[in-house]
Chain A
Amino acid sequence: MPRFDEGRPEMTLEEFRLLRDHVYAHCGILIHENMKFVMERRLWPRLEALGIQDFGSYHRYLRYDALRNAELEAAVESLTTHETYFFREPAQLKAFCEELLPILEKRNAHTRRLRLWSAGCSSGEEAYTLAMLLKDSGRFNDWDVEVIGTDLSRRVLAVARRAEYGPSALRATPPDLLERYFIPVGVNRVRVRDDVKAWVSFGHHNLADVAGSQLVPRTDVVFCRNVMIYFDLAARRRVLGVIRDRLCPGGYLLLGHAENLLSLGADFELVHLKGDLVYRRPELPGGEGR
C-alpha cells in the first residue's frame, strides 16, 4: 500500500477522544469515531507547523499553552472543510431567485429593507454570490440591502474581506456574471466589484454561541448550507434555535442539498418550492412580529 504520510505520527484512540472532546466543548462540532483518520490527517500540518511530535503533546498544547486559544481556532479551521465556490448548488439558487425573491420583494415593500445571513460563510463566496443574485434580479436596487457573512474562523474571514479569488472558486460561475461582477487583478485571479462588496459585511461568530448570536440582526433569509453536518444532534438543536431566533417570522432557512431537519423537532415549516425544499420560520399567530 503506498504511503502518503511519511513521518506522520499515528493518532491513538485515546488522543482522538481527548482532542475530539476538546473541540466539541469549544464549538459544538462533533467528529465521529470513524473520522479518526481524517482528524489525524487534518491536524498533522498543525503539529508540523508547531514542531510538536505527537497528538498527545498537541492536546496538552491546546490545554495549557499561552497561545492555546488561537491554536484551537486553527485546529477547528483545519477540521472543518472550507470547500466553497461561487454559485454553488445552482438549482437551489434558481429557486431562491425565481420563487423567494418575488415573495420577499412584496413582503418587505413597505420597509424596502432586506437582510440575508450566510451562516458559516467560509471565505465569502456564498455571501458575495447572494449579493450578486440580488443585484442581478433588479428588484432591490434602491433598497437597504445587507448580506451578512459569519464564520468561526478568523482566517477565512480575512480572505472573505479581501474578496480576491482564483480559478477553483470560480469554476461554476457563468461567464456573463464573471464579466459583470468581478475585475481581474492578476494571473488567474479576480476581485469582487466594489458595488457588490458594499452590500456584504462579515463578522466572527460561533453558531453554537447563543448569547453571541444577538449581534446578528434579524434576517429574512438564512443560508446555512453544509454547516449542520459538523454538529451532533444537541448542537444542531442549539444552532437551529439561534437561526430561528435571528429569522424574522415567515423568514426562510435554506440548507445544503444533503441536509434536512428530520429528527430535530419541528420549529420550522417545510415549504415545497417548485425547484427546491426550504424551511420557514412560522408566522406568529395573527401575523404579529413583522
Chain B
Amino acid sequence: MKSGKLFKLYIAVFLVFLYAPALLLPVFAFNDSSIVSFPLKGFTLNWFNVLWETEALHTATKNSLLIAVSTAIISTSLGILAARASSRYKFRGQKAVMGFIMIPLVLPEIIVGVSLLVVILQMGFDLSLWTIVLGHVLICTPFCVAILSSAFLNLDQSLEEASFDLGQTKLATFWLVTMPLVLPGVVSSMLISFTISLDEFIIAFFLAGTEPTLPVYIWGQLRFPQKLPSLMALGTILLILSLTLLATAEYFRRRSARKTGIEDAGGFL
C-alpha cells in the first residue's frame, strides 16, 4: 500500500517538474508588470503588442520558419531515400552506411556546429540561412530515417510487386501505392524535423551570418530584463502553435489509420 502511494507521489512530482515551467509562460505573458515574479499584478495584452511592434523579431521568425520548412522538406526527402534503400535492398556495407547516417543523433551539436563553421569558411562560402539549413538537415536526417524506416518496413512488399505486376511502372507504383501508405510516417518525419529545426540554437548560433533565427534572437534579448515578459508572450504563442501542430498531425495519422486499417504506419506518437 505504502509503495503504491509513494509511486503516485513520484508521478505527480515528475509531471509538475515537466510541465509547470511551461504553464508559467502564459501566466506571466498576460501579467501587467515588467518584473517576472509573484504576486501577479493584473491582466494585459501589452506584451503581445510589444511583439507585434518589434521588427527584428519578425525577421528572425521569418528566418526560422524558412529554415525549418526547408529543413523538414530536405531531411524528409533524404530520409525517404535512405529508409527505402535500407528496407528494400540488401547491399554491401549496408549496416555501416546506415550506422553512419544515424551517428549525428548522438554527436554533440557544438562539435557539429564548430566543424561545419570551419569547413564552410575554409571553402570560402559566406554564412547565410542556407548554411544553417545545411547544419539542421545534418542533425534532423537521422530522426527522419528512424521514423520512415519503420513506415517502410511495415509496408508489405507484395503491394508494390502487385502494382508492378498489374502493369504500372515503378515510378507510378511509388506515387500510387507506396507514398499514400507511408504518408503518416512522412508527416511525422516533417513535423519532428520542423520542430527540431525551429528551436535549435547551437548550430544556428555558429552558422548564422548577419541573420539570426528565432532562438538566437531570443537568446540575444535575454540580456535585457525588461524584455522578459514579451519573451514570455512569444513563448506562449510558440507553445500554442506546437500543440496545434501536434494535434493536427495526430488527427491525420488516426484518420489514415482508420482509412487503411494499418495500425502502425510509422506515426511518431
Please say whether chains A and B are actual partners in one complex. Answer: no
